[in-house]
Amino acid sequence: MLESQWPRIPTADPASDLAPFFERVDFPYYLLTVRAPDEEMSGCLAGFVTQCSIDPPNFVACISRLNHTFGVALRSAAMGLHLLGEDQVEMARLFAEQTGDVVDKFADVDWRIGTTGAPLLAEVSLALEGTILGHFSVGDHEAFLVRAVRAVAGPGRGLLTHRTSPRLHPAHPATS
């Protein structure tokens, strides 16, 4: 169905109608990393990532269109999906509160190129790399369908989630 065919549904006031849901829901934070053919790299903190198929092992990773990583992801063939340990708040801050428009986020972290060409961070709890199969609009974010290829465990322990992390201040707004 084309986006223009979807019925327009009024947005609920999050302060009243949806607050009970959002006060309870929790999700892990992921660091998404991409590398374009011209070798430009980018990465961002993302909360909207989920496995969407068992066989084949596919994931959906959503990136705000306002984020620097979005433009690089459009030109990339692969993506790294990284889970952070509960004590890796500083790495979360780097990828959330700095923008690749201004800062080389990879300058201060240990990383390597994976088998798919995606940059993989070495000091996380888990790094998963996959090929980007396509992308589509899901509102104010773009969803990238990623076929998992390989996962590598790292030294990070536990899991940094929305609820367990301190308040982070995004370098770009999530929506316009």
74 pLDDT higher than 80:
yes
- Total domains in the chain come to 1
16 pLDDT higher than 60:
yes
- CA atoms of 129 and 124, how far apart (whole Å): 13
Start-to-end CA span in the chain (Å): 24
* 132 Cβ contact partners less than 8 Å away, ≥ 6 residues apart: 73, 76, 77, 78, 79, 144, 145, 146
On whether residue 65 sits in a domain, the answer given is: yes
DSSP 38-72: T--EEEEEES-EEEEETTTTEEEEEEETTSHHHHH
On whether residue 23 sits in a domain, the answer given is: no
Tens of pLDDT, residue by residue over 18-69, are 778 777 887 888 999 999 999 999 999 998 999 999 999 999 999 999 999 9
Given pLDDT bands bounded at 50, 70 and 90, which one contains residue 97? Answer: confident
Residue type (1 letter), 129: E
Give me the pLDDT at residue 3, please.
Answer: 39
Average pLDDT of the residues of the chain = 86
168 pLDDT higher than 60:
no
On whether residue 53 sits in a domain, the answer given is: yes
On whether residue 68 sits in a domain, the answer given is: yes
Expressed as residue numbers, the domain containing 81 is 28-153
The predicted model gives 150-167 an average pLDDT of 81
Give the domain CATH number at 146: 2.30.110.10
On whether residue 130 sits in a domain, the answer given is: yes
Assign 111 to helix, strand or coil: strand
On whether residue 133 sits in a domain, the answer given is: yes
On whether residue 165 sits in a domain, the answer given is: no
On whether residue 42 sits in a domain, the answer given is: yes
